[in-house]
Amino acid sequence: MIRETRFVGIGIVGVLLVVAAGVLLRDLAGGLPVGPDAAWQALMSGHRWAPAVSVARVMAWIGNTPGVWIVTAALVIVELALRRWRAAIALLLAVDLSSSLSSTIKLLSVRPRPTGGLDLLTSFSFPSGHTTWAAAVAVSLTLALPRVWTWVLAGSWTAFMAWSRTYLGVHWLSDVAAGALLGVSVALLATGLVALLAPGDPHSTPAATITGVSSTLEPVSAGTLLRRGRALEWITLGWNVVGVIVLAVLAVRSSSVALAGFGLDSFIEIGASAVVLWELSGTGEVRQQRALRIIGVAFLALAGYLMVQSVIALVSGHHAAPSGGGIVWTAVTAAVMFTLAALKSRTGRALGNPVLETEGRVTFIDGLLAVAVLLGIALDLLLGWWWADPLAGLVIVFYAVREAVSIFRGDH
């Protein structure tokens, strides 16, 4: 209780410090750069490199709508899959506070943005909303799993976001410093409030750790394991439903063969998850086999379509448009799929269910596919390797044929 109260107190003090800094910048400095602001801005604007600018723009997309909610939703899903509902609520509260408080303080400080930035933004500059969100998310996750390496990752992620904002010339150094302080403060405040209002150890539930330190599934009943298996499949199914929509929009906007293929693969994986749900509910084998054959045909159709599109793109030299959203979605999807794969395999082994255990391996491969697509569009965006996008499409062709052959052989 003392620890949670201290979190709330420190969080409130941090928020008040940022508010006070904003008022001082407005009334005493007139919104002009202070301290090392001008020198840092000159350093950033004088050493710009095209690939680094592309990376900074991707970070800008991540920290803006809809990137913020895509990443936040993915992290909340992972927390809920691990039965860490307090951590999920604290994360959502921290993100909401980071958005509302940073917007309010911007209106209070009315500080103009630096001139000469690479992006034209009309909102006020102090504090950096992107950095506030990045710090809030990073610290919220770290407080839920406090380790040396998680703190290092949290600091690195926040610093990277802060760098990207100054590298694009859209914020002063003091803006991102205040954003980092505000983000840390709202994370402490949210975590403390949730712990006080919903007392109990958020790390005490069996699935609360993914580090393998303790045995998480052995004492759980078969009924609980079945419910957990179904929940994991429903999460996978729901993620793929959202993914089909997101990837369809991104693929149309960028004309990316890889993103289109990954979206179609996600659509087929919805059917695969439905088959596993049927199996876990005791549905008849005939119905399962019929559904599997339909999925096998769909995989073959996907392979044929992508093969044609990828070859046409390679022969014609088709250049897909840059897709920062595609990079964000595939990166987040890879993280979600790898987490779900580990949980499915663990649950399947404990339950003695080979179908769920096999589905865990399929989900792991989905994560690898996301990484392949991510590499393809990232190489296209950062290095101009246009052929990497259709090449990533061919990776999906190989996977689709492999899955179809496995289904018709009866390996599933």
Q: Are residues 28 and 169 in the same domain?
A: yes
Q: What is the pLDDT of residue 218?
A: 41
Q: In this predicted structure, what is the pLDDT of residue 290?
A: 65
Q: Does residue 250 belong to any structural domain of this protein?
A: yes
Which residue type sits at 330? T
386 and 285 within one domain: yes
In this prediction, residue 302 has a pLDDT band, given cuts at 50, 70 and 90, of low
- Is 106 in the same domain as 243? no
pLDDT of residue 214: 35
Structure confidence at residue 213 (pLDDT): 33
Q: For the stretch 42-74, what's the b/e string if a residue is b when 16 or more beta carbons lie within 10 angstroms of its beta carbon?
A: eebbeeeeeeeebbbbbbbbbbeeebbebbbbb
Task: Please tell me whether residues 190 and 271 are part of one structural domain.
Answer: no
Residue 341 is assigned to a structural domain of this protein: yes
Where residue 334 sits, what CATH number does that domain have? 1.20.1510
Torsion over CA: 70, 73, 78, 81 (sign): negative
Q: 362-382 as b/e, with b when 16 or more CB fall inside 10 Å?
A: bbbebbebbbbbbbbbbbbbb
Burial of 215 per CB tally in 10 Å (0-12, 13-18, 19+): exposed
Q: What are 106-127's pLDDT values in tens digits?
A: 888 888 888 878 877 778 889 9
Q: Are 161 and 267 members of one domain?
A: no
For the residues 237-241, what does the mean pLDDT come to? 82
Confidence check: pLDDT of 144 > 50:
yes
- Domain count along the chain: 2
Query: Domain range for residue 292?
Result: 222-409
Token reading at 384: 């101009």
Taking residues 65-86, report their average pLDDT: 86
pLDDT of residue 289: 66
Query: H or E element: which one contains 67?
Result: helix 67-81
* Mean of all residue pLDDT scores within the chain: 79
For residue 209, what pLDDT is reported?
36
Kindly state whether residue 148 falls inside one of the protein's structural domains: yes
pLDDT at 181 over 90: yes
Say how far apart CA 21 and CA 174 lie, in whole Å: 10
pLDDT of residue 128: 93
Model pLDDT, residue 165: 92
- Here the tokens at position 50 are 């095209």
Q: Quick check: is 297 in a domain? A: yes
Over residues 30-61, the pLDDT tens digits come to 878 888 888 888 888 887 888 888 889 889 99
Cis-peptide, bond into residue 33, ω within 30° of zero: no
* Intra-chain end-to-end CA distance of the chain, in Å: 51
Distance, CA of 212 to CA of 94 (rounded, Å) = 28
Q: How confident is the model at residue 187 (pLDDT cuts 50, 70, 90)?
A: very high
Share of the chain above pLDDT 90, in %: 13
Alpha-carbon distance of 35 to 299, in angstroms, equals: 60
Compute the average pLDDT of residues 264-293: 70
pLDDT higher than 90, residue 138: yes
Whether residue 278 has pLDDT greater than 60: yes
Could you tell me which residue, 28 or 62, shows the higher pLDDT?
62
- For residue 292, pLDDT over 70 is answered with no
Query: Given this model, what pLDDT does residue 402 score?
Result: 79
In this structure, the answer to whether residues 321 and 269 fall within a common structural domain is yes
pLDDT at 287 (0 to 100): 58
Residues 6+ apart with CB under 8 A from 197: none
| pLDDT score of 315 more than 80 | no
Domain boundary among 171, 186, 208: 208
Same-domain status, 154 and 298? no
Burial of 40 (0-12, 13-18, 19+ CB in 10 A): middle
User: What's the confidence (pLDDT) of residue 212?
Assistant: 34
Q: How far apart are CA 71 and CA 210, in angstroms?
A: 20
- Give per-residue burial for 142-170: e unless 16+ CB within 10 Å, then b: bbbbeeeebeeebeebbbebbbbbbbbbb
Inside any domain, residue 213: no
pLDDT of residue 158: 93
Which range among 8-22, 150-164, 186-200, 321-335 has the greatest average pLDDT? 150-164
Task: Look at residues 324, 412, 332 and name the one whose alpha carbon lies nearest to residue 371.
Answer: 332
The reply to whether 150 and 121 lie within a common domain is yes
pLDDT at 201 over 80: no
Lowest mean pLDDT among 80-89, 266-275, 279-288: 279-288
**Length in residues, the chain:** 412
Give the range among 136-150, 202-216, 267-281, 394-408 with minimum mean pLDDT. Answer: 202-216
Higher pLDDT, 347 or 297: 347
Give the confidence band of 163 by pLDDT, cuts at 50, 70, 90: very high
Could you tell me where the DSSP H helices lie in 82-209? Answer: 85-109, 129-144, 148-167, 173-197
* 266 and 378 in a common domain: yes
Q: Which of 208, 243, 261 delimits the end of a domain?
A: 208
C-alpha closest to that of 295 among 400, 177, 184: 400
Distance, CA of 343 to CA of 228 (rounded, Å): 9
- Could you tell me the pLDDT band of residue 100, with boundaries at 50, 70 and 90? confident
Do 24 and 125 fall into the same domain? yes
Tell me what pLDDT residue 139 has: 95
How does residue 404 score in pLDDT terms, banded at 50, 70 and 90? confident
CATH of the domain at 84: 1.20.144
Same domain, 248 and 388: yes
Shared domain for 230 and 187, answered yes or no, is: no
| Sign of the torsion angle spanned by Cα atoms 136, 191, 185, 39 | negative
Domain-embedded: residue 63: yes
Domain termination site, one of 185, 208, 231: 208
